[in-house]
Amino acid sequence: MVQKVIGSFFKIIKSGNNWALFNFVSQDKKFKAVVFAGTNIPSLYQEYEVELTENEGYRTYKLLSFVPSIKEKEIDWVDYISKNVKGIGLVTAKKIVQAQGEKIWQNISNFIKDEKPNELHLFLTDAQIEHLKQHYIDKQSEIESLLSISEEEKSNIKFFYLNNLQKLYEFLKEKHKGNNINYEEYYKQNNVYDLYMKDFIPFELVDKFALLIGYQETCLFRFEAFVFNVISEEEMNNSTLIPYDLVEKNVRSKLNISHDFFTDSCNLLLNHDNIIVQKVNDKFYFSKKVTLEKEFYILKRLHQINNAKKLDYTTSSKIEGSSMSDEQKNAYFGSLENNVSIISGGPGVGKSYIIKYLNLTLKENGLKNEKDYYILTPTGRASTNVSLKIDDKVRTIHSLLKIKDENEEVDISSDEYDKIKVLIIDEFSMVNINVFEKLLKACSNLEHLIILGDVNQLPAIGPGNLLEQMIQISFVKTYYLTKFFRSDSIDIFNFFESVKKSQLPKFKKGIVNLYEWDKSVLVQNITKLFKKLIQEDGIENTIVLAPTYRGDYGLIELNNQIQNAINKESQEVLKTQKQGKEIIFKLKDRVIQLENRTQDNVYNGDIGEIVDFTKNKNTTETITVKFSNNGTDRFLEYTASEFRNEVSLAYGITVHKFQGSEIDHVIFLVLDSHSFMLNKKLIYTGASRAKKTLNIVTSINVPIEETLYTSYLKKNEILTNFQLLILEKEKEWN
């Protein structure tokens, strides 16, 4: 039976990822209960109107819905006026409130409109009235929100809370700040799916809202959003030209529509402004218009930079006395001579060494780092790595742009960007179209661009394959580095070079080790190997790499088992669940940051250690993680909710997350059960992270040769508008 009660949640008994067990008490204190809440979690101590249903046999209740209890606000206007309005003290404020109460603000509003004398002059001086007028003008929206809750706001609160759309409600309040809008009525008149396609609100939330306010399941706006959603999902695999038949298959499956309905709806979409259909080599493809525009802009800007007046550098006199190879010198001189250039090569071939001398040269020519030029990378770990090697400041792209993620807008009004003449970007294979377009737009006066990366590594997560495709542009000068300089790692180099060439690599005991284990003991043996390596050389020098977190041999299971082996006795901090598996965080655990926190100078991929936490009775309130970079320790405090969403155990991480980093000892899972994700570039990228030992782990049931050759045969074809634009524009430029 459903029970309706007004009351508040006053204690969290236990919580996890998107669930919590609360103590609840009714407004009259007569009803107390233990309540389970899932998905949307209420706040403590706020009064709600709740609907509960009893869990038979558990003596607990399940929370069905909760809506903030809406009351007229009681404001101490004497206190507010005396503290906030210039020239009015406590005595005068009391006179105002005794005479008029909150109607004072309506009278002030009327006085502003017609400027006619009224009863205000009976107890206020002209100066005091002027101060009240100015305060009302400056703080009108604040005062109106204090006066009462509007009918629109009451309606919004009830609608969004009853339908478990609290997160969408918070976004809409921010989007329509200052406007008193009934969102239900507003979005019946305006395309609600723009919230997804233009404002990046999760598709599922927007679609749920749309259906609740009366959008038909097969209406054109919804159809367009589904097509847009499928294209966006495919863009995560790098292509920006998505085959028509693939989009049709996925959209028809999700919407349960016929081929004819799909075709007719696509024809109607041609008049809309979000999706493009084009014919390439007798096949039809979908693209997002916004992505196509970004690709066009990138190519146009590269051409503009290339045609800009060359900066006149004096090359460093220290070059001749350096240990640079001929390849490196050629890349150094060429990248200074050409406005747009690429230096491509794998780990250990001296890319950072060239950056060191480019940095020196720019300084010798009077340019200042982090003013006239910036050295950038896509990740915090890559920035730290390069910074240590060149002994100078290196930033992440997100840090320069002051954005948390690629969907956030960049404030390009800052003078800081106007002064930037030169960019040096390392690990460029990890940069996607969305990020690069924002960077080029921000740096509108850029005159010189030097890009470094490894064209054989994995492409970025998200749209585009920029490094590989920019090499195809005729005016972009590319320099390849092939000579390997780490004599103690030559066997590792030979291994990933063989992978690059689709050859069977050679193993060498003690340096490139092959472990073939039965799957029944595989996780156990990996844990033992990890423990052995950290005892010999420290945990900071050892990592497990795998393609995925999922499954019996995925990183969730591996991290749990390694934690149990090396950090079992540490104090428990927090529990959560991911992929159906319980995860327990403990003091001293190694963890990884999963998203950018630009304001805290901590970035996606940064690795730290849990060093402290606070509790209120049995509930964890804050967790502190220490991040160490360049000899500097930063301590970041998370709420429990932030920690669950932003942090993961990091004894093992994905190859994608570790790209751009290097470490002494790598344990790399190359399993047939991960074959759906294994390809040549992933194996090359994972293997090339190791500096001292590379430990390949595979199943005894499937020979490593078979797993490798299967991965070599996979063709991950990346189709982009950028490719087509290069071909089209090359004809004009030549």
Q: Are residues 509 and 593 in the same domain?
A: yes
In a domain, 640, yes or no: yes
In a domain, 19, yes or no: yes
Q: Are residues 112 and 23 in the same domain?
A: no
Residue 195 tokens read as 């919230």
Q: Are residues 115 and 221 in the same domain?
A: no
3-state secondary structure of 424: strand
Q: What are the distances in angstroms from CA 457 to CA 238, 496, 610, 687?
A: 14, 11, 31, 11
Burial of 572 by CB count in 10 Å (0-12 exposed, 13-18 middle, 19+ buried)? Answer: exposed
Q: What residue ranges of the chain have pLDDT lower than 50?
A: none
Residue type, 611: V
In a domain, 390, yes or no: yes
Which pLDDT value is given to residue 52? Answer: 92
Which pLDDT value is given to residue 111? Answer: 72
Q: What is the largest CA-CA distance in the chain?
A: 97
Residue of 487, 458, 493 whose CA lies nearest to 687: 493
Q: Are residues 105 and 164 in the same domain?
A: no
Distance CA 689, CA 55 (A): 51
For 346, residues 6+ apart whose C-beta sits below 8 A from its C-beta are 454, 456, 481, 484, 493, 496, 497, 500, 688
DSSP 8-state assignment for residue 508: B
In a domain, 585, yes or no: yes
Q: Are residues 361 and 254 in the same domain?
A: no
Distance CA 225, CA 205 (A): 12
Distance CA 200, CA 456 (A): 32
3-state secondary structure of 347: coil
Q: Are residues 102 and 63 in the same domain?
A: no
How many structural domains are present in the chain?
5
Mark which of 435, 455, 485 sits at the end of a domain: 485
Report the sign of the C-alpha dihedral through residues 471, 477, 480, 486, in that order. negative
In a domain, 27, yes or no: yes
Residue with tokens 């089209």: 728
* Residues found in the chain: 734
CA angle 381, 384, 385 (to 5 degrees): 85
HEC profile for 128-167?
Answer: HHHHHHHHHHHCHHHHHHHHCCCHHHHHHHHHHHHCCCHH
- Domain extent, residue 240, equals 152-288
Q: Are residues 412 and 461 in the same domain?
A: yes
pLDDT in tens, 644-658: 989 999 999 999 999
Q: Are residues 443 and 556 in the same domain?
A: no
Distance CA 525, CA 568 (A): 17
Residue with tokens 């005016």: 475
Strands 632-639 and 607-616, how do they pair?
unpaired
Q: Are residues 158 and 140 in the same domain?
A: no
In a domain, 340, yes or no: yes
Cα Rg of the chain, angstroms:
30
Q: What is the CATH number of the domain that holds 356?
A: 3.40.50.300
Distance CA 323, CA 195 (A): 56
Residue of 668, 613, 667 whose CA lies nearest to 642: 613
DSSP 8-state assignment for residue 541: G
pLDDT in tens, 248-296: 999 999 999 999 999 999 999 887 889 999 999 999 999 999 999 999 9
Helices assigned H by DSSP within 270-372? 289-307, 326-337, 351-364
Q: E strands, 542-699, where?
A: 542-546, 572-578, 581-586, 590-593, 607-616, 619-629, 632-639, 647-649, 652-654, 663-669, 690-699
Q: Are residues 360 and 447 in the same domain?
A: yes
Residue 354 tokens read as 């060239």
Count of CB atoms within 10 A of residue 59's CB? 9
In a domain, 454, yes or no: yes
Which pLDDT value is given to residue 113? Answer: 67
In a domain, 41, yes or no: yes
- Within 13 Å, how many C-alpha atoms sit on residue 723's CB side? 14
Contact 63, 45 (CB under 8 A): no
Q: Are residues 546 and 510 in the same domain?
A: yes
Distance CA 354, CA 390 (A): 9
Residue of 656, 646, 556, 655 whose CA lies nearest to 594: 646
Distance CA 277, CA 289 (A): 9
3-state secondary structure of 53: strand
Q: Are residues 550 and 676 in the same domain?
A: yes
For 157, residues 6+ apart whose C-beta sits below 8 A from its C-beta are 67, 68, 70, 169
Query: Residue 450: phi, psi to the nearest 5?
Result: -120, 120
Which pLDDT value is given to residue 142? Answer: 67
H-helix or E-strand containing 278? strand 275-280
Q: What is the CATH number of the domain that holds 63?
A: 2.40.50.140
pTM equals 0.83
Burial of 402 by CB count in 10 Å (0-12 exposed, 13-18 middle, 19+ buried)? Answer: middle
Residue type, 416: E
Residue type, 497: E
Q: What are the distances in angstroms from CA 681 to CA 264, 344, 502, 685, 714?
A: 40, 15, 10, 6, 10
Beta-bridge partner residues of 627: 608, 634
Edge-to-edge order in the sheet of strand 448-453: 395-396, 373-377, 422-425, 448-453, 340-344, 477-480
